[in-house]
């Protein structure tokens, strides 16, 4: 019985080794180019929408999106796309509309693909009224060369990077993607993701800023706004050089909250097992509460209200 089991193990090892050698031999013949194993065919197509537009509406599902300033003043959309998942680009009523045309059948989803659909949008000017993007599962990059009055981007697992100027409202939401916003002056901003990180730097908003994530990290640097609301369940929240004329409202379950040279008129911080540490820029009337953690705050009696509550975390705040 034991001998037969050993023979079976030896045979299995030999077959696995033989299969591995065959696989390596086949990949060597393809110069280890895994894209040649793909059963999905890709092709490059260029779409040239005609007409003037001041708004942009994009609805794609599996295509990475990049914006580039056109060097000849003509709009064109270059797509590296599947032969059965193509796109349309038309101008209607002053809106550039880019959509997906999916001609796949259900059995086409049973395949092996190693490629990635990509879309480069060449825009004829720098300033537009509205940019609206439904991104699906791929990344979106909006470079600093462009300016929009309002920007709305949503996606499933899409990473979003926005460096463009947004003068009014910016809203970005994803399920599992990361969000990065840099160098924007506007009025209102809302950023949300389930498991991704949120990174904001060099941003000034006249009104409210809202950032929310479940398990990701929130990193805010050089941010000015009227009021800030930041919420995370298990990720850390970091504020560096963040100033609000109104209120900080920060909530966290198990992550830490760190403030470095940041301040607001009133501050409310609630966390479960995370620590609250940092430096403020002005005196506050401190109201602190913790079940098992240590508390160290200045004994100041002037300034706005600073209320910090934690269950098991420590509280340590200084005045810079």
* DSSP secondary structure, 145-160, as one string: T-EEEEEEEEESS--E
* DSSP β-bridge partners for residue 9: none
**Can you tell me the distance from the alpha carbon of 320 to that of 304, in angstroms, rounded to the nearest whole number?**
16
CA dihedral 125→128→132→135, nearest 10 degrees, is 30
Asked whether 134 and 154 are in contact (CB, 8 A), the reply is: yes
Domain presence at residue 118: no
Please return the burial class of 292, using the count of CB atoms within 10 Å of its CB with bins 0-12, 13-18 and 19+.
Answer: exposed
Q: What does pTM read for this prediction?
A: 0.83
Asked whether 120 and 60 are in contact (CB, 8 A), the reply is: no
Helix (H, G, I), strand (E, B) or coil at 15: helix
Cα–Cα separations (whole angstroms), residue 149 to 49, 185, 202, 292: 22, 11, 18, 48
Domain presence at residue 4: yes
Q: Which helix (H) or strand (E) holds 24?
A: helix 2-29
Q: Count how many residues are written for the chain.
A: 320
Based on the structure, what is the number of domains in the chain? 1
Domain presence at residue 14: yes
pLDDT of residue 34: 43
Determine how β-strand 55-59 pairs with β-strand 127-134. parallel
Contacts 24+ apart (CB under 8 A), 103-111: 108/84, 111/38, 111/39, 111/40
Domain presence at residue 219: no
**Can you tell me the distance from the alpha carbon of 181 to that of 183, in angstroms, rounded to the nearest whole number?**
7
Domain presence at residue 127: no
pLDDT of residue 181: 97
Supply the DSSP symbol for 177: -
**Can you tell me the distance from the alpha carbon of 176 to that of 152, in angstroms, rounded to the nearest whole number?**
17
pLDDT of residue 36: 47
The token pair at 171 is: 């809203």
Q: Which domain holds residue 27?
A: 1-32
**Can you tell me the distance from the alpha carbon of 131 to that of 57, in angstroms, rounded to the nearest whole number?**
6
pLDDT of residue 84: 79
Q: Measured at the alpha carbon of residue 227, what is the angle toward residues 225 and 228, in degrees to the nearest 5?
A: 90
Domain presence at residue 179: no
Domain presence at residue 16: yes
Residues near 77 by Cβ (< 8 Å), separated by ≥ 6? 46, 47, 48, 49, 87, 89, 98, 119, 120, 121, 122
Supply the DSSP symbol for 84: T
pLDDT of residue 239: 98
Cα–Cα separations (whole angstroms), residue 291 to 153, 208, 258, 277, 311: 41, 32, 19, 16, 5
Average pLDDT across each block of 10 residues of the chain; the chain has 320 residues. List them in order: 61 63 54 50 93 96 91 95 88 96 57 71 97 89 96 90 95 94 95 94 97 94 97 94 96 93 97 94 95 93 95 94
Q: In this predicted model, what pLDDT tens digit does every residue of 53-107 receive, in sequence order?
A: 999 999 998 889 999 999 999 999 999 988 778 899 999 999 999 998 876 555 4
**How many other C-beta atoms can be found within 10 angstroms of the C-beta atom of residue 315?**
23
**How many other C-beta atoms can be found within 10 angstroms of the C-beta atom of residue 26?**
11
**Can you tell me the distance from the alpha carbon of 278 to that of 284, in angstroms, rounded to the nearest whole number?**
14
* DSSP β-bridge partners for residue 277: 258, 316
Domain presence at residue 262: no
Instruction: Spell out a b/e string for 167-195, using b for 16 or more CB atoms within 10 Å of the CB, else e.
Output: eebbbbbbbbbbbbbbebebbbbbbbbbb
**Can you tell me the distance from the alpha carbon of 197 to that of 238, in angstroms, rounded to the nearest whole number?**
12
């Amino acid at each position: 019985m034991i001998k037969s089991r050993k023979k079976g193990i030896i045979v299995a090892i030999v077959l696995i080794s033989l299969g591995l050698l065959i696989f390596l031999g086949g990949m060597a013949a393809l110069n280890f180019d895994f894209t040649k194993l793909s059963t999905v065919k890709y092709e490059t197509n260029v779409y040239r929408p005609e007409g003037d537009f001041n708004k942009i509406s994009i609805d794609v599902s599996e295509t990475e999106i990049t914006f580039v300033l056109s060097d000849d003043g003509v709009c064109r959309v270059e797509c590296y796309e599947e032969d059965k998942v193509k796109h349309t680009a038309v101008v209607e009523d002053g809106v550039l509309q880019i959509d997906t045309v999916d001609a796949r059948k259900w059995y086409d989803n049973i395949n092996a693909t190693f490629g990635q659909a990509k879309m480069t949008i060449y825009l004829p000017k720098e300033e537009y009224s509205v940019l609206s993007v439904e991104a699906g599962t791929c990344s979106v990059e909006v470079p600093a060369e462009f300016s929009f009055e309002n920007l709305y981007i949503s996606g499933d697992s899409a990473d979003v990077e926005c460096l463009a100027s947004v003068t009014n409202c910016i809203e970005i939401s994803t399920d599992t993607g990361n969000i990065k916003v840099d160098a924007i002056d506007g009025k209102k901003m809302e950023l949300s993701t389930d498991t991704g990180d949120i990174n904001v730097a060099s941003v000034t908003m006249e009104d409210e800023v809202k950032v929310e994530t479940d398990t990701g990290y929130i990193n805010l640097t050089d941010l000015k706004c009227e009021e800030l609301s930041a919420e995370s369940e298990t990720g850390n929240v970091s504020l560096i050089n963040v100033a609000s004329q109104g209120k900080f409202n920060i909530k966290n379950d198990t992550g830490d909250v760190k403030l470095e040279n940041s301040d607001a008129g009133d501050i409310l911080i609630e966390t479960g097992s995370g620590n609250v540490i940092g430096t403020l820029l002005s005196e506050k009337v401190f109201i602190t509460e913790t079940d098992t953690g240590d508390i160290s705050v200045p004994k100041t009696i002037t300034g706005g209200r600073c209320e910090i509550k934690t269950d098991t975390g420590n509280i340590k705040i200084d005045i810079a």
